[in-house]
Structure 1
Amino acid sequence: MDDHRIRRRALFGGGAAIAAAGVGALGPSPAHADSGSAALEPDIDSTAEWGARRPNGSNPVINRRPAKLIVHHTVAPNTSDFSRAQAHAHARWVQNLHMDDNGWRDTGYNFFVSRGGWITEGTTGSLAALYAGTRFIQGIHTSGQNTTAIGISNEGSYHDGAVPPAAQWESLVTLCAFACEQYATPSSEIYGHMDFNSTLCPGIIHDRLPRLRDEVETYRYR
């Protein structure tokens, strides 16, 4: 059995763990499981779990809830490696790019969703802030929006016709639903990078934002 499809999960309000075996690479993502009336908390690998570097200085804490979620893509190769190890390698690659090439203090995105459906913390401190639900960490992802929004970036390049694998899409829905729930953010406040800056990011995912908002809303209240 592909062990990256077996995940721990908990109800928003309860913390009851649910073990579940998933299906093939294009089936339901690691962040999904059948449930009753409550949406599910996704399993998110922390920066410690994927071996992040220490930030160059402190990441600013914004002591209020974000007003919106902004979706990105990382323009990484569209790998067919859907493993957890690849998700971690991708997170390290982006952090190195942002810190070494861009000269930023840390990873710019608050969270990543890998092509295999693995969710990882980006900017250090973002996961604890998400669980708290009252604050967020200022990332570096969208000019003019970093103090009002969290950035969620998808592994891959989606500006040339490629589409995200089903596992990635489903985990994106789950993560956005959890973030909207934690921060009391309406699903109508999910945007793409190109809504604010001159960019092709997040590619075809931007065309699917109405679907994403609808699925997030359904997932929150199913």
Structure 2
Amino acid sequence: MVSRRAVLLGVGAVVGLGASTLPPRAVRRRIEPCAEWGARPPVEQPVSLSRKPERIIVHHTATENVADGSRQHAHERARFFQGLHMDVNDWGDTGQHFTITRGGVLLEGRHGSLDALLAGDRMVEGAHAFGQNRNSIGIENEGTYIDQTPPAVQWDALVWLCAVICRQYGIAPAEIHGHRDFWDGTMCPGDAFHALLPRLRAEVALI
């Protein structure tokens, strides 16, 4: 039996998500759970909140815009981000709920986020945006987007993931925001990426 955490999310997927909740994308996409990319155990068990998130917050990682789109690279980056958040930021786990690499690989970031998304009636408390960690889903996008835009494969994965999150939790696409919208001390997700948010909302609304 396919586990809920290893579910394929896409056209025809039936495990955990009904067909009517999924964006009608031609390509099948998969969110890889923490166990598959070699995540460390969290310092504390994720705090599960019996509420739905109200919005999505888009981030960039402010790391190099590499050309490597492989799954191996995605796993290495996920472990790096988790280590940075736990060992440098002193957080209990990866801060954001999901990560998308420049190659379009979709990864669960914070433990418990994928199960909560599949359930659609709860969320895991994040550590990605001060004041928003208990009412928003954080998506981190690998790269730096101050004067560059995300590659198409990463963008398409982001549109798809946002659509799934919006449908599962009943979030309006208008509630997709950038990190800087809630904290003026950051440039995240970068000027070029932030300028694309109206397009992101529009594309998510269409599917």
TM-score band (shorter)? 0.7 to 0.9
**Distance 1:155-1:43 versus aligned 2 partners, 3 A rule:** same
Structure 2 match to 1:205: 193
**Distance 1:145-1:12 versus aligned 2 partners, 3 A rule:** farther
Gaps of 5+ in 2: 1-7, 16-22
Gaps of 5+ in 1: 1-7, 16-30
Of 15, 25, 34, 2:26 maps to 34
CA contact (8 A) 1:73 1:201 kept: yes
Residue 89 in structure 1 maps to residue 112 in structure 2: no
1:33 Cα offset (Å): 4.5
Structure 2 match to 1:153: 140
Structure 1 match to 2:57: 70
Distance across 1 between alignment mates of 2:67 and 2:116: 32
CA contact (8 A) 1:50 1:88 kept: yes
Structure 1 match to 2:20: none
Distance across 2 between alignment mates of 1:127 and 1:14: 15
1:11 Cα offset (Å): 3.4
Of 197, 214, 217, 2:202 maps to 214
Of 30, 33, 45, 1:46 maps to 33
Number of aligned residues: 191
**Distance 1:168-1:63 versus aligned 2 partners, 3 A rule:** same
Structure 1 match to 2:95: 108
| 1:154-188, Cα deviation, whole Å (9 max, x unpaired) | 000112x1211000000000000000010011101
Distance across 2 between alignment mates of 1:60 and 1:211: 33
Distance across 2 between alignment mates of 1:144 and 1:12: 37
Of 168, 171, 177, 1:185 maps to 171
**Distance 1:185-1:177 versus aligned 2 partners, 3 A rule:** same
Structure 1 match to 2:107: 120
Of 131, 146, 162, 2:118 maps to 131
**Distance 1:195-1:89 versus aligned 2 partners, 3 A rule:** same
Aligned-pair identity in percent equals 47
| 1:119-147, Cα deviation, whole Å (9 max, x unpaired) | 00000000000000001111101111101
TM-score by length of 1: 0.82
TM-score by length of 2: 0.88
Structure 2 match to 1:26: none
Distance across 1 between alignment mates of 2:47 and 2:77: 24
- The CA RMSD measured in Å over matched residues stands at 1.8
**Distance 1:12-1:125 versus aligned 2 partners, 3 A rule:** farther
CA contact (8 A) 1:112 1:155 kept: yes
